[in-house]
Amino acid sequence: MHLLHPTQFADYELIDSGNFEKLERFGEYITIRPEPQALWNKILSDKEWEKKAHVRFVAKSSSAGSWDKLKQMPDRWFINYKKGPVNIRLRLALTSFKHVGVFPEQAVNWDYIGASIQKLETPNPKFLNLFAYTGAASLAAKSAGADVTHVDSIKQVVTWANENQTHSNLSDIRWVIEDAMKFVKREVRRGNTYNGIIMDPPAYGHGANGESWKLEKQLNELMMDVQDLLDPEEHFLLLNTYSLGFSSLILKNLFMGSKQKQSKLDIGELYLPSTSGQQLPLGVFGRFSNLK
């Protein structure tokens, strides 16, 4: 198991973290947001945080809140990410759920997707993104040359992802608004296969028609079904989870029980290093491939 963090993301910076908050720069704007993993003390003073930040998220409940603007800034703006074959542009926004439209630690996975697609010898390789959110991984795969299917159960974020496709000067991603489990089972019945698959499931959630999702109850079933969608000749599979207390050993055991015994296995943890010196853990990942 090893630790990975983005190494080339000019439009993002974790400045400091602590006391259950994080101070981040997205492009030219700096935000203060809640962060349940930041159990330690801040390095910078509260006064320094307030001086730097443009906006602070104020939680009203466990799932929603509002933004307190400390300096003038727009409600929507853009950032770019370019590394290797991946060249994408993302529209960010101040949402009522504390998110801004991107999880920057996932840049590690975008790099892996881009590099893996370039290794494929299959013409027009097929890539599937499950629980796909605003689509950065889909755009990474598309910009690397894949035929991409993007699946999420929430219409608004699929619309957001489609906007990001336009801003990234890309086209022809297949958009699917559906429960991920239902989609996978239907694809298995149809005999469809993909060369690359990424899953980034939430701890809990609901499908497009109210289907219930709980990570610890359904992940193993999803893992087994998804492997039936892998092209037997050339494939890679990436699972990313962000859930407090979700051990990397859980992912290791899930992958060890896989149907793809011959594939190379890599288990690790994603984190973001702060300019002030801490390392903020942000989920565990498992991935395997049979690529050379």
Question: Within this chain, do residues 52 and 185 fall inside the same structural domain, yes or no?
Answer: no
Structure tokens at 85: 């074959």
| Nearest alpha-carbon partner for 147 in 99, 106, 103, 196 | 196
What letter represents residue 178's amino acid? E
Question: Within this chain, do residues 149 and 253 fall inside the same structural domain, yes or no?
Answer: yes
3-state DSSP assignment of residue 209: coil
Residue 204 sits in a domain of what CATH number?
Answer: 3.40.50.150
Whole-angstrom distance, CA of residue 116 vs CA of residue 257: 23
Task: Find the domain containing 38 and state its range.
Answer: 2-74
Question: Within this chain, do residues 139 and 189 fall inside the same structural domain, yes or no?
Answer: yes
- pLDDT tens-digit profile, the chain (292 residues): 789 999 999 999 999 999 999 999 999 999 999 999 999 999 999 999 999 999 999 999 877 999 999 999 999 999 999 999 999 999 999 999 999 999 999 999 999 999 999 999 999 999 999 999 999 999 999 999 999 999 999 999 999 999 999 999 999 999 999 999 999 999 999 999 999 999 999 877 777 777 777 888 899 999 999 999 999 999 999 999 987 677 888 888 888 877 765 578 899 999 999 999 999 999 999 999 999 8
Whole-angstrom distance, CA of residue 279 vs CA of residue 64: 26
208-220 burial: b if 16+ Cβ within 10 Å, else e? beeeebebeebbe
* pTM tops 0.85: yes
Question: Within this chain, do residues 19 and 109 fall inside the same structural domain, yes or no?
Answer: no
Question: Within this chain, do residues 69 and 83 fall inside the same structural domain, yes or no?
Answer: no
Question: Within this chain, do residues 36 and 146 fall inside the same structural domain, yes or no?
Answer: no
Q: How many structural domains does the chain have?
A: 2
Question: Within this chain, do residues 123 and 222 fall inside the same structural domain, yes or no?
Answer: yes
Cβ-Cβ contacts under 8 Å for 87 (sequence gap 6 or more): 80, 81, 143, 168
CB distance 236 to 196 below 8 Å: yes
Question: Within this chain, do residues 84 and 67 fall inside the same structural domain, yes or no?
Answer: no
**What per-residue confidence (pLDDT) applies to 128?**
98
The dihedrals phi and psi of 62, each to the nearest 5 degrees, come to -70, -15
Residue 34 sits in a domain of what CATH number?
Answer: 2.60.40.1180
Which of 17, 43, 74 is where one domain is finished?
A: 74
What letter represents residue 128's amino acid? L
Question: Within this chain, do residues 61 and 89 fall inside the same structural domain, yes or no?
Answer: no
